[in-house]
Structure 1
């Protein structure tokens, strides 16, 4: 039934003809991959796959092998997948390369190549991921670069030819100031130089790439050719005429003054200068009036300022118009201006003529500035080299700025080469800094690993220690050392942080267990304190013993400072409440209000009633009455009023024999009446004898919580004292009956304040709170009323502007102290006249004076006005002329937008 176990287990006879082992069938792809599927181990399978990939198999075979192998061994299939990804990327790069090769060929085949398009091709191809380092793009890149280099060389040669033409013209002009024989001798050499210049210019215009040169270079070359030929064509006939005049005395003289004077001297005739001296002096022209000269100079300056402004702002069309206007002004008034102004005019005209190439010029200026900054990174004026991180950030910023400059103008390869070399030289500092950072990170990692091992060893050594304070201190020191262990990378920190937490948790486990037991004991003591505080009779000895147990527990097992403070507050609260109840019982006899407190309470109620009326005058009168009551003046005023009333009644009832008797009667009756009307004085307990001041917990000032902790006077744990006792003497209450002794017998606290009697007796808690709340409510009501009055005055002002009725203008008192009578008169005069003028500039000045935002559509005008104000040094600031500016606004027509802007401005200006 079971042939595998048919043979007896106890039999020692050998098995006859054992069954052959079953052979494993080979995989169909084994022959293709060299036995990779039948390999015994994963490493052997990966080795055979790598050998098979070296034979460059077809993509279809790779796909089939990857499909079968990925389910068996992902590690060996990774190499096949990478080869498939590489083939896929190569196909994609071939398509991209073909696309950008076609674009490059189109650029090269075009008769006119734009340098910006050529450089953009290389930049955009690199962004698209085209393989510029492989054929055919590498060859096309070289061809495009060569073509760009040829075009730039042509442009450079044009500039050289222009300078050469200027030098040839200068040589000819210099010869016109020397003897004609020198000019005759140099004529052949000049002819050869002029001919060579024309041949070189012809070579430039005949070059195949001349059509790709920028549009500004051909006119420059043609203008240089024209100017040179004009000078040369005038020079040759003049030299020939001078030679003919030297041979024939009857021949005409050359038009060159120096040569003509030389030939006249040779013929024995007077020179032109002598002839001019012999002629009668010309009549002196009448002098021009100074006012005419000043007017002409002012007109020219105005036109010149307009041109300089447009040129500085880069407005091409506007600068051309301004230049034309300046030339028209010069035709009329140019003869009346002085030499410095004439030089300024010519400089401005030249600058306006060169504004056409401003963008390219500015781009080169920016690039030269960037090159100077890059070179200055290593050679700073102060001699201090930049640090690694700052150098890295500076290089990144400079390269970003260079990219932006390439977008704004034509590229400049020469400047780019210098810039790149300077940046590469400066980057060596960054590389050294990065090496240093890596070295420091390795050192910090080693230090942290050593600290973890140290914590583990310390935990094993102090596992049985009971000194919890020392253990807590050591754990805090370990934490500080870990935080100050230096910077490491995020990956290394993520590896070390779990190890550190595990080690520190194991070291802190005994302390945490002790803290849990201590918390249970402290909560039990808090329950005992609650029970003692709720008892009808406070047991001082039990409270003292409980406080000593608390202090012993706090010194034995440390807790977190905040948690320990909360536990201490919960422990002492019921005991403090019990002591406060005792103090309240003692103070109950003096809780009745005194006469002064009643007067203050009545004055406070009167002030609250005045606050409800909303009348500012009544509120101020009630505030004065309350202040008088606080200073003790209300009782005196009440006594005087009562005495006057009684005296008047006595005079009406019976005549007095003499003034002296009347006075005595009035005085006596006033005294009687005052005694009858005054409230009965509250009996005051005799003042206890002075006793030394003893610090207590809490604050007995009116308005302060008595259970609030007092400011610590010395260090130590909450509730500790230097003599080891509790927070207060248990034999007596939390404070003395006399509240820190007799304060009235002492002067100021530091000797610089008057005695307490000078400030009057203290108010009770109820009276103090009532007068404080009434004063605060009164101040808020006055502020609210002032704001309402300000808003109403502003509304009336805007209504008067809209209706143009000066009668609706608020008075000076309603407008506030900022508006004087003269300013209000100017506003009234502006509203009385018909609407005229533009208020745009005045509104901008008002917004600048009030420092409020300007609507978006007027921001450009505000900036322009600010720039203009910077040039007016002696003009008053907008903050000084806001009254006149408001008058200009009120003189103009009213509209919704202007009214809203004026309201926003005056809200601020009338309150300052």
Structure 2
């Protein structure tokens, strides 16, 4: 007997892989992952079926995750597309159902689009796009019908008012417009009929058809009465025996036409009644009337009904006794009470129906819009309170109350489930808090001091315990009242070591605050002691942490006396600085004058004010020189006067005394201290000035001349270099020595002693120094701005002269600046006057040379010409460069034709050339 052959699954799997490889275009046999992904993308572009995608993904996911990801995305897209199609079909059926209804509910139609969007239906694809448009159009038609009903109602009211107004005018006026009124009434009836005949009239809200019918009936009644009265008026006018119309105005008019006086019929007088009976009746009726008016005014429906019955009984009993005015007031109050009672009953039922709908809607919500337990509890409590308030103002409705109570009881099941959940969570949170309290107690027993004196870490752990307690979840008020004392005791026990250390730190800080006050109150502030005290404070603050607010208050108290001392010192310094001297006042006045000149915008005035300020800054040294010179002149005058008084030459002792007095008078002294100076010493003849040492440069070797300089070792000069050149050559060009250095050490040939370029002057105060500095900076900025404006105006005038070919408009050489010489300006004037030289270059070429001289860019369309001109200039070795001939080139451009483009290029060029 032959055994059945068992087929191995490996060849089948191999065959499936080969089949899938052929299906995907060689994705399984691709050598690299990149090629495999590329072939998978190419295969996916053909939109394969979902079964094929699943097979390829199953085999490929074990080989290449990256390529399998592409297939998985395609599968997900296909699933989404299939789900979108199913959703689209479902919501399309719902929309079609709504459209097929003869009476469309607008709320359902408006909610369809919202619910479809929430469900994820493809509203931007067909057929939902068309259905959405159809629903929106039908809703718009229904809303239009409702609006037209309101318009028709207003039109009916206006027509009735027109008819009533005609009843107050002569009947002939009414007869003149009766045809127009008839046309308007017929037109209104036609429009009302069209509204009711519309296919969507059944979908209109239920309150609108009764409104239209009421308006129609009222208008027809008024119109028929008006036509009948007008016909009677016409007949009465034609026949004197005919009946008069019921319209009072028309009846009076016809009576007057017939010659009958229009007098009102006298009222029948009431019989006389005893005054006491009348007073008693009026009191009873008025009391009942006052009660009813009060209840109606406050809106009490039940009380107003009882007061109305009381007033009716009073009127039935005393109606014939009271006067007409009181009777009319009573009837008006009864009418108001009846309206209030009816309105309140209707309004109360309407409010109850709304509350029932809200109660039933608490559970009838779309998926994903459930209400939480707390919100459900608050909603039920609010609804029941509103029902109680409604019952207080109207007659109770037991049927609606039964529906409302059943809906509230059903919704309260959610609240009960939520309460059970809250109870379980509260028990869990209570257990967690008890565990935290036990953990804090254990930590407190194990950590009676900070590890490595890290009290900040100790405090941080305490704060972490506090955060965990606050985040421990919600528990009931009773449970929290039980746990809170345990927590406070545990955290206080854990924080006891830190609190003891903080108490010591507070004592030390208060002592340092007192020490800071002593330092601050001292007449002289010791900076070293203040620094040492601040370092001690910082060390204490870093070592022991305390509450941030308390630490800030202590720091403010510690810093205040020291800051006050520094502020006092600064105030004294500023007070000394603000005490202006004579020189400061002069400088301040000059600075203010310079600021005024800056504001005027006059360059000459600004320069004059700058010179005045500079003179004020150097005026003190000059004043001192003048005082010294005046003192010397006075001493010389005194000496001359003393010599003239003596006829004979004085003795040697007297001569020495006079010389001594002259020297004492010539010596400068401070004001107010000349009388207190001691007697001067005898005059010592001055020593001759030492001969200045002159450094000689030469060769001091034997046999060589000292005057001949030694050749520099290792330094060779280039051909054409000057022999007397020096790397530090002066500006005067003499022996390479710098100009202005006359001190005898290679600084000049006269070897005169060095003189100071400035004289000693007192230092300016802070106010004067800042004022003169700001004034000078503003003046320089104003001068630069004025120079730029003048430069721009000069360029504008030059271009205007070129455009108008008027040489008289060319600005002066001073306005053009120092770069434009008088010869250049003359050439420009001649070019504008038509007398330019014959060998002048081409204007375009000259303009290119100008742009090369100014190194400004050339427009794109002229770049080739500029490059060609640069190549040509390279071959002209002896020709001057464009930077040397820009004046002549500008004259050549001005001699040519004017164009706006060339004018902009010339302006850009001259803006640079005239500024350099």
The TM-score by the shorter chain falls in which range? 0.3 to 0.5
Q: Rg bigger for which structure?
A: 2
TM-score, normalising length: structure 2: 0.35
